[in-house]
Amino acid sequence: MNRTGPLPAESLRSLVRVREPGAEDDSLVRLNRNERLQPLPEWFLERLRSAVASELLTGYPVADRVYAALAEAVSLDRSQLLLTPGSDAAAKALYHAYVEPGDGVVMLDPSYAMYRVYAEMFAGEVTAVPFENLDGIDVERVLAAIRPGVKLVMIANPNQPTGTLLPEDALLDVVRRALDVDALVAVDEAYYPFSGTTILPHVAEFPNLVVLRSFSKAAGLAGARIGYSAANAAVIDDLFKVRSVHDVNAFAMACAAEVLAHPSVIDDYVEEVRRGEQVLRERAAELGLAVPQSYANFVLVDVGARVAPALLVERLRERGYLVRGPFSTPPLESYIRVTLGPPAVMEGFCAALAAAVESGG
Ligand SMILES: Cc1ncc(COP(=O)(O)O)c(C=O)c1O
pLDDT in tens, 226-251: 999 999 999 999 999 999 999 999 99
**156 CB less than 6 Å from ligand 1?**
yes
Of 36, 45, 51, the residue nearest 251 (C-alpha): 51
**Mean pLDDT, rounded, for 243-265:** 97
Between 286 and 13, the more confident residue is: 286
177 C-alpha to center of ligand 1: Å? 25
Q: What is the pLDDT of residue 235?
A: 98
**224 CB less than 6 Å from ligand 1?**
no
Contact 323, 31 (CB under 8 A): yes
Nearest atom of ligand 1 to the alpha carbon of 227: 10
**214 CB less than 6 Å from ligand 1?**
yes
Task: List, in order, residues 6 or more apart from 24 with CB less than 8 Å away.
Answer: none
Contact 206, 232 (CB under 8 A): yes
How many Å apart are CA 74 and CA 78, to the nearest integer? 10
Please confirm whether the linkage preceding 110 is cis (ω < 30° from 0).
yes
| Degrees, nearest 5: CA angle 221-222-223 | 90
355 C-alpha to center of ligand 1: Å? 31
The average confidence (pLDDT) of the chain is: 96
Per-residue model confidence as pLDDT tens digits over 151-198: 999 999 999 999 999 999 999 999 999 999 999 999 999 999 999 999
In 262-342, which ranges are continuous DSSP H helix? 264-286, 309-318
Contact 84, 249 (CB under 8 A): no
pLDDT of 361 strictly over 70? no
Q: How many helices (H) and strands (E) does the chain have?
A: 13, 11
